[in-house]
Amino acid sequence: MRGLVFDRQLGGQPTLRLARDLAVASPPPGEVRIRTTLAGICNTDLEILRGYHGFEGVLGHEFVGVVDEAEDPAWVGRRVVGEISASCRECPTCRAGRYTHCPTRTTLGILNRDGVLADSFCLPACNLHLLPEDLPDEAAVFTEPLAAACQVLEQVHLRPTDRVLVLGDGKLGLLVAQVVALTGCDLTAIGRHPEKLAILSARGIATQLDGDRVEGNADLVIECTGQAAGFRRARGLLRPRGTLVLKSTYHGLVEADLSRLVVDEIQVTGSRCGPFAPAIRLLAQGLVDVLPLVEAEFPLDEAIAAMDHAQRRGALKILVRP
Ligand SMILES: [Zn+2]
Ligand SMILES: [Zn+2]
């Protein structure tokens, strides 16, 4: 089968290649094999090419697919999305319900597990979520990043009276802003691309171009710029005792004045994967608008070109269809 592989051949530097001779995996106990019908390219995939996590293998974690092999025949032929981390379900962390933090977890296309930018891949059956029939693949493929946006509401008590800034108008920022807007809070999304901010304005969300004078003193700033410089920018827009939510993952370190965080008593929350069920409900009910985020679609045979396109400055969601 085919797969977009990032690996090291003959001891050289890892490189990206479209393999055509990958073995079709037999699902291990508890897992199913899924035929990818549509996949999305995420910033994390691009960061992996820069060395993030030191991952080597098949890339990709955002998918819609159809189960084609499973122990339980009820799964076969079902259209699904799936949570991306496979956890042991036995260790103290898992028993406490914190599956996404299992110390021996593997994660699709990110950590010790081949990803979804391939004809097929394996995932534990307990990770799967069935999709409503009338939800098209092009919307459902946003479930994983939308779940990550919903995670902010899992973690932070966001009051409808709060003044909230979402910093960054990339793929994740546009989803986070739409989710946060549903609370009725006083939200402004800040970005650098008028055409992307227009996607939010069309839904009645206030937007502002970064560089225009942005009023700071916010109760909550959600950093979604995907860049190390975003931390400092976000911090500068907070009031004392405000909350800073960090959504960006990137390869590299940030220099930060931690004493100022102490003096201003800033609460910092890292925020990663989120709950799939609410994300599917939001998509099914049309409460968020994801289709305008699709920039282009490529066949799997052109996955390298798809990655190149995704790396263009300001590119929105690139989809890959096996
Ligand atoms: Zn992602
Ligand atoms: Zn565990």
CA 161 to centroid of ligand 1, rounded, Å = 30
Task: Please tell me the pTM assigned to this model.
Answer: 0.95
Q: Can you list the residues of the chain whose pLDDT is less than 70?
A: none
CA 110 to centroid of ligand 1, rounded, Å = 9
Do 214 and 221 contact (CB within 8 A), yes or no?
no
pLDDT of residue 111: 96
pLDDT of residue 245: 98
CA 14 – CA 18 distance, rounded (Å): 13
Cα 218-248-203 angle, rounded to 5 deg: 60
CA 119 – CA 322 distance, rounded (Å): 6
Residue whose C-alpha is closest to residue 39's, from 74, 72, 4? 4
CA 111 to centroid of ligand 2, rounded, Å = 15
pLDDT of residue 33: 98
Q: Residue 248: how many CB atoms within 10 A of its CB? A: 24
pLDDT of residue 234: 95
Average pLDDT, the chain: 95
Query: Which ligand is closest in space to the CA of residue 43?
Result: 1
